[in-house]
Amino acid sequence: MSIESILQQRTSVRAFVDQPVADDTLQKIFASAQLSPSNCNVQPWQACVVSGATKDKLKQRLIETLMSGASPTPDFNWLPQYQGIHRERQFGSANALYSAIGVAREDKKARQMAMLRNWQFFDAPHAVFFTMDKYLDIMGAVDLGIYAQTLSLVMAEHGVSNCMQGALGQFPDPVREILNLPDERGILFGMSFGYADDSAAVNNTRTDRELLENSVTFFQ
């Protein structure tokens, strides 16, 4: 598949079949993603892939943390709230998701349960946490974003689906503890991945894209 075809067909998947990605395929995918560009070739990403018992233990701890009423304590600045057109697009994305699974706007409990699925990795067989040294701040975040997109495209080439999740960076302490990460390592965000469950209604979610003329200006 061409990159253009992948971009046209790719969607964020939030339901997966119970089939892990083969170890050799994982190795190929992550080896290819190492070719991702970065500022001054610093390659700041430290990708932590969790599967099997480690993933299940982490899922349990994250859900326990949420159910305890704990507030998010992200390693990086997730405080800004969307405004204007960005907030409108956020609402549009949420509406597309909840419409796909038949959850009414006023059904707060059902929406909370849908949100909780983030920390259950949407029952995906694998998840990856994108981490980097905290001092890198915004420069490192740019590189991690580039790396994550590269990884996503390579996964799609291998028939592996995923969902990027800012939510997986909101409660870093259980992740740092279970994965034994040093204090200076920050968890920016994550991604659940595996093979899509095509029968799941949630995977019918589709979002719009802005017109080119509203996003790109050509100067000559």
pLDDT tens-place string over residues 17-68: 999 999 999 999 999 999 999 999 999 999 999 999 999 999 999 999 999 9
Cα–Cα distance for residue pair 133/183, rounded to 1 Å = 9
Return the closest-CA partner of residue 39 out of 188, 152, 189, 139.
Answer: 139
Task: Give the rounded percent of residues in the chain with a pLDDT score beyond 90.
Answer: 91
- Residue 79 binned pLDDT confidence (cut-offs 50, 70, 90): confident
Pairing of strands 161-165, 185-194: antiparallel
Mean pLDDT of the chain: 95
Reported pTM: 0.95
Cα–Cα distance for residue pair 96/199, rounded to 1 Å = 17
